[in-house]
Amino acid sequence: MGGVAKGQIVREIDALGGWSGIITDRSALQFRMLNRSKGPAMWSPRAQCDRMLFSHNWRQVLENTPGLSLWQDEVVALQVDGGAVAGVVTRMGHTVPATAVVLTSGTFLNGTIYVGEQSWSGGRVGEASAVGLSDQLRELGIEVRRLKTGTPVRVDGRTIDFSKLTEQPGDEHPGKFSFANTEPLRVQRPCYLANTNLRTHDILRAGFSRSPMFTGRIKGRGPRYCPSIEDKIDRFADKDHHQLFVEPEGWHSQSWYLNGFSSSLPLDVQLNALHSIEGFGQAQIFKPGYAIEYDYFPPTQLAYTLESSHLENLYFAGQVNGTTGYEEAACQGLMAGVNAALKVRGRAPFVLSRSQAYIGVLIDDLVTKGVDEPYRMFTSRAEYRITLRQDSADLRLTPLSHAIGLADDERMRRVGERQRQMDALRATMDGTAVTPAEAADWLSVHGSAPLMQRATLSSLLLRPELSIDTMAGLSPVLCDALKAVPADVVQEVETTIKYARYIEKEREVAERMLKFENIPLPVDFDYFQLSALSYESREKLNRQHPATLGQASRISGVSPADVSVLLLTFGK
């Protein structure tokens, strides 16, 4: 769970009151903060989890959630009444009336599994695909397309020579995902790094003629940023190796996940290629890599609440919206569920903007730009990533969530206490000053230039070589203050001081954009009336009918000149 930008999403889910961060902390085998060598805006938490424990912990929470009823079955049809969903019908013939329905069927809708020249119906190996629902939704006017994803081989750890791999340990002082009182790891399992080689690539290329990807049997487009191993060596033919991540699937399991070795090639090709990798010469496979092709519904058919624009009270979340990854799916499920519940209660929707959360960036990208390949989140997709740091998620989002009754009082109390501690430490930094004489020796020891005049600790901290922790040796007042606050508060205050100008600039840009962002556009306007717009813009605006000027500006094909025309037309 987590990773670059994905870790920020899990932190945001937790800050909103969701359980993903807590379950991850309870199930973790290893924790690492990625991108430590870069600025705090890029830091991304990642945890390797025990797969069975993860599932067990989730089930334990769900089965003990007050008010939640569970029914295990397959939905084969929706009940529709007057253009709105009214319930679901299951394979067993059971009818469940519902005021709102959230569809989160992953890769199971008309799912087809491919391993070389073999293919069969399924949503995962050993689990049947869901048939019929896509056809009904298509008849109701909802567009349906196909995408492809894949999964790597699972290898028997008893047959891996780990002495030939590079160990990748967890952090020396592991963090955690949840802002709640979960415990950080005390013992961790290592992951390992391996590499393909030219012989591996030659073996894989020899199997291309039997690959469903290269023979055209798979029509759906796969993920650009998480491609199969055969796709990688085809697209990057100049590379003599590709890095693989060897990850344990449990504390006591011998199953290892070979991340980076996703494949739909025949089993014999996968096995021969695997044996050519250093450390895997005698490796045995528990489960081969395979590809899945499945139905999804282009998300431009959704409102910001993730409600369908074709069928009222029907919400879509996860891979059915064209995304890939647990984290992207989890945040959509949370937001769709929250908005379904709010609508049922007659309350205003809950929508996050691009300047409030990575979740807001993801949903805005889906709804305004759509997808033609599985979407995954990156820090580069967020314009305000200094503001949207993983460490500030609770400060940004828990008050909003608490206001609608999702985050509980205890979570809000923790945020208030954290903010109080930050304010107190910041006041100490701002209110404590040192003279050039007092700081001379200390600055020299830490390789920092001497002071020319009296300076506060906050102004001194702007020097890149200095940190709050090291400055404790300069000021007894600061040393005492640091004893009263946890490490995450110290890090948060240091970041806000060092990056204050950048954070303020981002806020100014966000506020300036907000003036235009929320200018409403008529929902039934015929954009072909505006001849000053490009034809592509008129066509796409008529198809998507954005609710605001900001949403229209992010539609692919709508140029800045087109936005100016819309501003002149509707800005009044």
pLDDT bin (cut points 50, 70, 90) of residue 516 is: confident
Q: Give the lowest-confidence range in 104-108, 445-449, 461-465, 517-521.
A: 517-521
Please provide residue 405's backbone torsions phi and psi, each rounded to the nearest 5 degrees: 90, 15
The percentage of residues in the chain with a pLDDT greater than 70, rounded to a whole number, is 99
Residue 36 confidence class, pLDDT cut points 50, 70, 90: very high
Average pLDDT estimate for 419-448: 93
Assign 552 to helix, strand or coil.
helix
Confidence of residue 490 (pLDDT cuts 50, 70, 90): very high
Residue 129 has pLDDT above 80, yes or no: yes
More confident residue, 572 or 429: 429
Structure tokens at 91: 């394979």
Q: Is the pLDDT of residue 8 over 90?
A: yes
Structural fold of domain 409-505? Arc Repressor Mutant, subunit A (1.10.10)
The fold for domain 518-570 equals DNA polymerase; domain 1 (1.10.150)
End-to-end CA distance of the chain: 46
Report which of residues 440 and 559 the model is more confident about. Answer: 440
Given CA atoms 352, 355, 358, 364 in this order, what sign does their dihedral have?
Answer: positive
Average pLDDT, integer, range 147-169: 95
Torsion of CA 192, 198, 203, 208, to 10 degrees: 100
Instruction: Please determine whether the domains at 409-505 and 518-570 fall in the same fold group of CATH.
Output: no
Do β-strands 101-103 and 314-316 pair in parallel, antiparallel, or remain unpaired? Answer: parallel
pLDDT in tens, 266-322: 999 999 999 999 999 999 999 999 999 999 999 999 999 999 999 999 999 999 999
pLDDT in tens, 394-424: 999 999 999 999 999 999 999 999 999 999 9
- CATH number of the domain located at residue range(s) 145-296 in this protein: 2.40.30.260
Asked if residue 373 lies in contact with residue 404, where contact means CB atoms within 8 angstroms, the answer is no
| Entry pTM | 0.90
The pLDDT assigned to 227 comes to: 79
Between 214-218, 252-256, 446-450, 497-501, the lowest mean confidence (pLDDT) is in 214-218
Q: Quick one: CATH architecture of 75-144+297-376?
A: 3-Layer(bba) Sandwich (3.50)
Specify the pLDDT at position 336.
Answer: 98
Using 50, 70 and 90 to split pLDDT, how confident is the model at 225? low
Model confidence at 555, pLDDT cuts 50, 70, 90, reads confident
Nearest of 99, 105, 102 to residue 85 by alpha carbon? 99
pLDDT of residue 372: 85
**Is 90 exceeded by the pLDDT of residue 391?**
yes
Q: Left (φ > 0), alpha (ψ -120 to 50) or beta: where does 318 sit? A: left
Per-residue DSSP letter, 366: I
Can you tell me the mean pLDDT for 511-524? 81
* Residue pair 450/444 in contact by the 8 Å Cβ criterion: yes
The one-letter amino acid code at 60 reads Q
Q: Which residue has the higher pLDDT, 515 or 198?
A: 198
Domain ranges of the chain: 75-144+297-376, 145-296, 409-505, 518-570
